[in-house]
Amino acid sequence: MSWASSAVIIAGKDLRLEMRTRDVIASVGLFVLLVVVTASFAFPTSGEGREGVAAGVLWMAFLFAALLGMGRSMAIEKEDGCLEGLMLSPAARESIFLGKLLANLGFTWAVEVVILPVFVVLLQLAPGSGLVLLALCALLGTLGLVTVGTLFAAMAVHTRGREAILPLLVMPVSVPVMIAAVKTSEAALTGAWSSGATSWLLLMVGYDALFLLVALATFPHVMEE
């Protein structure tokens, strides 16, 4: 069986589990909504630099939301030895990673699709055609965050304080993609896309590709006891 087929089967199982419990979507969605609503009260309604602050708030919310979701997604595999069940299957270890990555991306993107319009309305932003670029930034930035997070969630799952350890592992490594995501989102929100913003976007693409390869290469070793 190909990596892709196994990955889709695993992601499909995660989706089915989520549809049944709504654990990830509910907790993550509510968390991000709370952050955005709270930010909207403190947010200046006019003035220079609003978009930069807004982009920072947005990505902090996305980062913590992704951490919540990924931690939960891997914790489900730890319960009742389900991870061992996956390891016993003929599915390549890499496809297990891809399956978990697909599912985590699906959940995080789903939350973002709902939150982005709410965020734009509550913070009284007017991105105009920049909304498409903002969506692209969210797509690429989230891919980087979730790739790193899925790998580290697998590392942390065998540890006792995994909920505490996961952010400690992910945050330092995700600094480059977070900065790039904030910078590009700010450019998208102001409608002043520059060559500098394109460079940040390319950095995100490079980051995503690099960490996807690193994760695929290291995940089989991470899973070995």
Residues forming the site for another protein (CB under 8 A): 1, 5-6, 9-10, 13, 16-17, 20-21, 76, 79-82, 84-92, 224-225
Q: What angle do CA 215, 218, 222 make, to 5 degrees?
A: 110
CB of 55 to another protein, least distance (A): 37
Torsion of Cα atoms, 103 then 104 then 108 then 111, to 10°: 50
Total number of residues shown for the chain: 225
Residue where the block lists tokens 């030895």: 81
- Find tokens 């930034």 and name the residue: 137
Complex with another protein: residue 10 or 134, whichever CB lies closer? 10
Is the four-CA dihedral 103, 26, 158, 148 of positive or negative sign?
A: positive
CB of 116 to another protein, least distance (A): 29
Q: Which is nearer to another protein, 17 or 171 (CB)?
A: 17
C-beta of 160 vs 172, nearer to another protein? 160
CB of 12 to another protein, least distance (A): 8
C-alpha gyration radius of the chain = 18
Decide whether 94 or 163 has the Cβ nearer to another protein.
94
Alpha helix positions (H), the chain: 3-21, 23-42, 50-78, 82-88, 93-122, 130-156, 162-173, 175-190, 195-223
Nearest approach, Cβ of residue 87 and another protein (Å): 6
Q: Which CB atom, from 7 or from 166, has the smaller least distance to another protein?
A: 7
CB of 98 to another protein, least distance (A): 13
